[in-house]
Protein backbone atom coordinates (compact mmCIF):
# COMPACT_ATOMS: atom_id res chain seq x y z
CA UNK A 1 0.00 0.00 0.00
CA UNK A 2 1.35 3.42 -0.96
CA UNK A 3 2.09 5.37 2.26
CA UNK A 4 0.14 8.54 1.35
CA UNK A 5 -3.10 9.45 -0.39
CA UNK A 6 -1.99 13.03 -1.11
CA UNK A 7 1.34 14.87 -1.29
CA UNK A 8 1.18 18.66 -1.00
CA UNK A 9 4.05 20.91 -2.08
CA UNK A 10 4.83 24.50 -1.26
CA UNK A 11 5.83 26.46 -4.38
CA UNK A 12 8.17 29.30 -3.39
CA UNK A 13 11.43 27.93 -2.00
CA UNK A 14 10.57 24.36 -3.03
CA UNK A 15 9.63 24.36 -6.74
CA UNK A 16 10.36 27.97 -7.76
CA UNK A 17 12.07 30.97 -6.23
CA UNK A 18 9.97 32.94 -3.78
CA UNK A 19 7.57 35.17 -5.65
CA UNK A 20 7.57 38.28 -3.46
CA UNK A 21 9.78 37.77 -0.42
CA UNK A 22 12.22 40.38 0.91
CA UNK A 23 14.96 39.65 -1.63
CA UNK A 24 12.57 39.79 -4.57
CA UNK A 25 11.03 42.99 -3.26
CA UNK A 26 14.46 44.57 -2.82
CA UNK A 27 15.43 43.79 -6.42
CA UNK A 28 12.28 45.38 -7.83
CA UNK A 29 12.51 48.39 -5.54
CA UNK A 30 16.07 48.97 -6.74
CA UNK A 31 14.93 48.69 -10.35
CA UNK A 32 12.44 51.52 -9.82
CA UNK A 33 14.65 53.50 -7.42
CA UNK A 34 12.15 53.25 -4.59
CA UNK A 35 12.95 53.69 -0.93
CA UNK A 36 13.08 50.28 0.76
CA UNK A 37 12.12 51.47 4.24
CA UNK A 38 9.15 53.46 2.96
CA UNK A 39 7.87 50.48 0.98
CA UNK A 40 8.38 47.94 3.76
CA UNK A 41 6.59 50.16 6.27
CA UNK A 42 3.50 49.93 4.06
CA UNK A 43 3.84 46.33 2.88
CA UNK A 44 2.81 43.95 5.67
CA UNK A 45 -0.93 44.59 6.13
CA UNK A 46 -1.80 45.02 2.43
CA UNK A 47 0.28 41.96 1.56
CA UNK A 48 -1.57 39.83 4.08
CA UNK A 49 -4.89 40.96 2.59
CA UNK A 50 -3.63 40.49 -0.98
CA UNK A 51 -2.42 36.94 -0.32
CA UNK A 52 -5.82 36.09 1.19
CA UNK A 53 -7.54 37.62 -1.87
CA UNK A 54 -9.23 40.24 0.29
CA UNK A 55 -7.84 42.94 -2.02
CA UNK A 56 -6.73 42.91 -5.65
CA UNK A 57 -3.33 43.65 -7.18
CA UNK A 58 -4.15 47.29 -7.89
CA UNK A 59 -5.26 47.86 -4.30
CA UNK A 60 -2.02 46.37 -3.00
CA UNK A 61 0.09 48.50 -5.34
CA UNK A 62 -1.88 51.65 -4.54
CA UNK A 63 -1.19 51.09 -0.84
CA UNK A 64 2.51 50.33 -1.20
CA UNK A 65 3.79 52.13 -4.31
CA UNK A 66 1.23 54.40 -5.99
CA UNK A 67 0.22 56.46 -2.96
CA UNK A 68 2.01 59.26 -4.82
CA UNK A 69 2.61 59.89 -8.56
CA UNK A 70 5.19 57.66 -10.24
CA UNK A 71 6.95 57.74 -13.59
CA UNK A 72 5.97 54.11 -14.24
CA UNK A 73 2.66 52.25 -14.32
CA UNK A 74 1.03 49.53 -12.26
CA UNK A 75 1.60 47.16 -15.20
CA UNK A 76 5.30 48.06 -15.31
CA UNK A 77 5.71 47.27 -11.63
CA UNK A 78 3.80 43.98 -11.81
CA UNK A 79 5.81 42.89 -14.85
CA UNK A 80 9.00 43.46 -12.85
CA UNK A 81 7.51 41.55 -9.93
CA UNK A 82 6.81 38.59 -12.21
CA UNK A 83 10.41 38.45 -13.45
CA UNK A 84 11.44 37.51 -9.91
CA UNK A 85 9.71 34.14 -10.37
CA UNK A 86 12.34 31.73 -11.67
CA UNK A 87 13.06 28.00 -11.44
CA UNK A 88 14.75 27.27 -8.13
CA UNK A 89 18.41 26.29 -8.52
CA UNK A 90 17.95 23.13 -6.41
CA UNK A 91 14.30 22.58 -7.21
CA UNK A 92 11.95 19.78 -6.19
CA UNK A 93 10.21 20.14 -9.57
CA UNK A 94 11.85 17.02 -11.06
CA UNK A 95 10.61 15.05 -8.04
CA UNK A 96 7.10 16.44 -8.51
CA UNK A 97 7.27 15.42 -12.16
CA UNK A 98 8.41 11.92 -11.19
CA UNK A 99 5.59 11.53 -8.67
CA UNK A 100 3.07 12.69 -11.28
CA UNK A 101 4.39 10.09 -13.71
CA UNK A 102 4.18 7.34 -11.09
CA UNK A 103 0.52 8.23 -10.49
CA UNK A 104 0.34 6.49 -7.11
CA UNK A 105 -1.27 9.35 -5.19
CA UNK A 106 -2.90 12.74 -5.66
CA UNK A 107 -0.67 15.82 -5.79
CA UNK A 108 -1.30 19.42 -4.88
CA UNK A 109 0.01 22.66 -3.51
CA UNK A 110 -0.49 24.36 -0.17
CA UNK A 111 1.11 27.77 -0.65
CA UNK A 112 0.89 31.42 0.28
CA UNK A 113 0.52 33.56 -2.83
CA UNK A 114 -1.58 36.45 -4.08
CA UNK A 115 -3.90 35.61 -6.95
CA UNK A 116 -2.17 37.44 -9.80
CA UNK A 117 1.39 36.18 -9.19
CA UNK A 118 0.07 32.72 -8.27
CA UNK A 119 -1.70 32.36 -11.58
CA UNK A 120 1.32 33.77 -13.42
CA UNK A 121 3.56 31.18 -11.77
CA UNK A 122 1.15 28.29 -12.37
CA UNK A 123 0.73 29.27 -16.01
CA UNK A 124 4.37 30.10 -16.82
CA UNK A 125 5.81 26.95 -15.28
CA UNK A 126 2.94 24.60 -16.13
CA UNK A 127 2.31 23.59 -12.53
CA UNK A 128 -1.37 22.83 -12.98
CA UNK A 129 -0.55 19.80 -15.10
CA UNK A 130 0.86 18.17 -11.95
CA UNK A 131 -1.62 19.39 -9.35
CA UNK A 132 -4.96 17.77 -8.57
CA UNK A 133 -5.53 20.37 -5.82
CA UNK A 134 -4.41 23.96 -5.25
CA UNK A 135 -4.84 25.15 -1.67
CA UNK A 136 -3.32 28.53 -2.43
CA UNK A 137 -3.94 31.24 0.16
CA UNK A 138 -5.65 33.39 -2.47
CA UNK A 139 -8.18 30.61 -3.18
CA UNK A 140 -9.01 29.61 0.40
CA UNK A 141 -8.66 33.00 2.10
CA UNK A 142 -6.19 31.67 4.68
CA UNK A 143 -2.41 31.80 5.03
CA UNK A 144 0.22 29.47 6.44
CA UNK A 145 1.12 28.89 9.20
CA UNK A 146 -2.40 29.56 10.54
CA UNK A 147 -3.87 26.21 11.70
CA UNK A 148 -7.09 26.91 9.79
CA UNK A 149 -5.50 26.50 6.35
CA UNK A 150 -4.28 22.99 7.17
CA UNK A 151 -7.66 22.06 8.64
CA UNK A 152 -9.36 23.37 5.50
CA UNK A 153 -7.13 21.25 3.28
CA UNK A 154 -7.71 18.15 5.41
CA UNK A 155 -11.48 18.68 5.41
CA UNK A 156 -11.61 19.12 1.63
CA UNK A 157 -9.30 16.19 0.89
CA UNK A 158 -11.42 13.94 3.12
CA UNK A 159 -8.63 11.60 4.10
CA UNK A 160 -6.90 11.04 7.45
CA UNK A 161 -4.28 13.74 8.06
CA UNK A 162 -1.53 11.15 8.52
CA UNK A 163 -2.20 10.05 4.93
CA UNK A 164 -1.21 13.54 3.73
CA UNK A 165 2.45 14.45 3.21
CA UNK A 166 3.37 18.14 3.20
CA UNK A 167 6.68 19.56 1.88
CA UNK A 168 7.71 23.14 2.69
CA UNK A 169 10.99 25.01 3.17
CA UNK A 170 9.93 27.03 6.23
CA UNK A 171 10.20 25.60 9.73
CA UNK A 172 7.04 27.27 11.01
CA UNK A 173 4.92 25.93 8.14
CA UNK A 174 6.25 22.39 8.58
CA UNK A 175 5.59 22.55 12.33
CA UNK A 176 2.02 23.77 11.77
CA UNK A 177 1.34 20.92 9.35
CA UNK A 178 2.69 18.40 11.86
CA UNK A 179 0.49 19.91 14.57
CA UNK A 180 -2.50 19.37 12.25
CA UNK A 181 -1.60 15.67 12.00
CA UNK A 182 0.02 15.72 8.57
CA UNK A 183 3.34 14.05 7.92
CA UNK A 184 5.69 16.89 7.00
CA UNK A 185 9.15 17.34 5.53
CA UNK A 186 11.24 20.49 5.57
CA UNK A 187 12.72 21.00 2.11
CA UNK A 188 16.50 21.34 2.36
CA UNK A 189 17.30 20.57 -1.27
CA UNK A 190 16.37 18.03 -3.91
CA UNK A 191 18.87 15.34 -2.86
CA UNK A 192 17.77 15.49 0.77
CA UNK A 193 14.09 15.33 -0.22
CA UNK A 194 14.68 12.40 -2.55
CA UNK A 195 16.50 10.52 0.22
CA UNK A 196 13.67 11.15 2.69
CA UNK A 197 11.02 10.09 0.19
CA UNK A 198 12.91 6.85 -0.44
CA UNK A 199 13.01 6.10 3.29
CA UNK A 200 9.22 6.66 3.35
CA UNK A 201 8.78 4.28 0.37
CA UNK A 202 7.39 7.07 -1.76
CA UNK A 203 10.13 6.80 -4.42
Contact (CB, 8 A) for 170 and 13: yes
Q: Residues 64-82: what's their mean pLDDT? A: 98
| pLDDT tier at 107, thresholds 50, 70, 90 | very high
CATH number, domain with residue 58: 1.10.150.240
| pLDDT tier at 31, thresholds 50, 70, 90 | very high
CATH number, domain with residue 114: 3.40.50.1000
Q: Do 119 and 37 belong together in one domain?
A: no
Q: Do 124 and 195 belong together in one domain?
A: yes
In a domain, 108, yes or no: yes
Q: Do 163 and 63 belong together in one domain?
A: no
In a domain, 183, yes or no: yes
Name the domain count of the chain. 2
- Identify the pLDDT of residue 84: 97
Contact (CB, 8 A) for 193 and 168: no
In a domain, 45, yes or no: yes
In a domain, 122, yes or no: yes
Q: Do 73 and 102 belong together in one domain?
A: no
Per-residue pLDDT of 122-179, as tens digits, reads 999 999 999 999 999 999 999 999 999 999 999 999 999 999 999 999 999 999 999 9
- Identify the pLDDT of residue 200: 97
- Identify the pLDDT of residue 202: 98
Q: What predicted TM-score, i.e. pTM, was given to this entire model?
A: 0.95
The boundaries of the domain holding residue 10 are 6-18+88-199
Class of residue 67 by CB neighbours under 10 A (exposed 0-12, middle 13-18, buried 19+): exposed
Q: Do 67 and 148 belong together in one domain?
A: no
Amino acid sequence: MFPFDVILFDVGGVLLTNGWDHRERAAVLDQFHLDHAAFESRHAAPNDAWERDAIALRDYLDATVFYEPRSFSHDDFFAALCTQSQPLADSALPILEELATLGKCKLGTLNNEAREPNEYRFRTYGLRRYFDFAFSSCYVGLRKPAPAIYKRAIDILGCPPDRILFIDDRTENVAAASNAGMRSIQFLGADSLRHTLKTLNVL
